[in-house]
A and B are shown apart, each in its own frame.
Chain A
Amino acid sequence: MRIEKHPILEFQKGAKIKFLFDGRELEGYAGEPVAAALHAAGVRVLSHSHSHNRPRGFWCAIGHCSSCNMRVNGVPNIRVCIEPLAEGMVVETQKGRGRLDV
């Protein structure tokens, strides 16, 4: 799902790194949005609606809506479309509205 070559654009990518998605090890590039790395890895279901548990993907990709909220490093409701990916990040599908556990 990566664009290897583009007629107009050159993509500046960070270092290739590993992260965990629901316990599964995936690869992505440091600094790119978590959602981009997940999408490139074929993961399109990012969250579920609260009432009917319907699968949801991203919608706006610029941090405006809340369709891509996930649990990142234990913190719920992270907009993964604008959250930069980092080595060893733990990304999880969120169940419900999220707990702060503080």
Chain B
Amino acid sequence: MLSKTGVPTREQVESVKPDRERLARGPVAVIECFQQIPCDPCYTACSRGAIQPFADINDLPRIDFGKCNGCGLCVAYCPGLAVFVVDETYSETEALVRIPWEFLNRPEAGQKAPGLNREGKEVALVTVKRVQPSPSKNGAYILWLAVPKELAFEVRSIPVK
């Protein structure tokens, strides 16, 4: 359970997942923010109006998947590093998952790495496709990982070392 272990439940993850049709249309932001905290930069970062205005700064973010084009600005500006972009149209067998990255272990494009789930367990071998300096220009990067399609909502990191 999230409050006990830091790992969100399956139900929580399902609740923020775009539907099958939207996933079939290309990259989309997945906001894994499950706690009401005073924070709204995802809304201010979104240039497409996809992330809805906050009536109360403690609201959970709400996203209109129809307006989201998966640009990833919210990945760069979320202080909780809780936003990912998932593209299930990447290939027949693989999805592309974009994760925020702030570690010295900066893989190169083409490199393989263990894919970790939300518990830090290795669940796949993934390929780093792109290492993008974060649009926030604050030293962070966004890693584009090719992961087995069935693990698009499992892989959320690579190891620190």
A–B interface present (Cβ within 8 A)? yes
A residues lining the B interface (CB < 8 Å) = 5-8
Contact with A along B95-110 (1 / 0, CB 8 A): 0000000111010000
B38 at the interface (CB under 8 A from A): no
Q: Which residues of B contact A8 (CB under 8 A)?
A: 102, 138-140
A10: nearest chain-B partner, CB-CB = B139
Q: Which residues of B contact A6 (CB under 8 A)?
A: 104
Secondary structure at the B interface, as helix, strand, loop or mixed, is: loop
Q: In the complex, what distance in Å separates the CA atom of A6 from the CA atom of B103?
A: 8
A19 CB to nearest chain B CB (Å): 30
A2 CB to nearest chain B CB (Å): 14
Which 8 A-B residue pairings sit nearest by Cβ, starting from the closest? A8-B139, A7-B104, A7-B103, A7-B102, A5-B104, A8-B102, A7-B139, A6-B104
12 contacts between A and B (CB under 8 A): A5-B104, A6-B104, A7-B102, A7-B103, A7-B104, A7-B106, A7-B139, A7-B140, A8-B102, A8-B138, A8-B139, A8-B140
A35 CB to nearest chain B CB (Å): 25
A3 CB to nearest chain B CB (Å): 9
B141: nearest chain-A partner, CB-CB = A7
Contact with A along B103-134 (1 / 0, CB 8 A): 11010000000000000000000000000000
Q: Which residues of A contact B140 (CB under 8 A)?
A: 7-8
Q: In the complex, what distance in Å separates the CA atom of A6 from the CA atom of B140?
A: 11
Q: Which residues of B contact A5 (CB under 8 A)?
A: 104
Q: Which residues of A contact B102 (CB under 8 A)?
A: 7-8
Q: Which residues of A contact B138 (CB under 8 A)?
A: 8
Q: In the complex, what distance in Å separates the CA atom of A29 from the CA atom of B139?
A: 25
B102: nearest chain-A partner, CB-CB = A7
A10 CB to nearest chain B CB (Å): 9
Q: Which residues of B contact A7 (CB under 8 A)?
A: 102-104, 106, 139-140
CB contacts under 8 Å to A, within B42-89, are none
Q: In the complex, what distance in Å separates the CA atom of A83 from the CA atom of B102?
A: 32
A3: nearest chain-B partner, CB-CB = B104
B160: nearest chain-A partner, CB-CB = A7
Q: Which residues of A contact B106 (CB under 8 A)?
A: 7
B106: nearest chain-A partner, CB-CB = A7
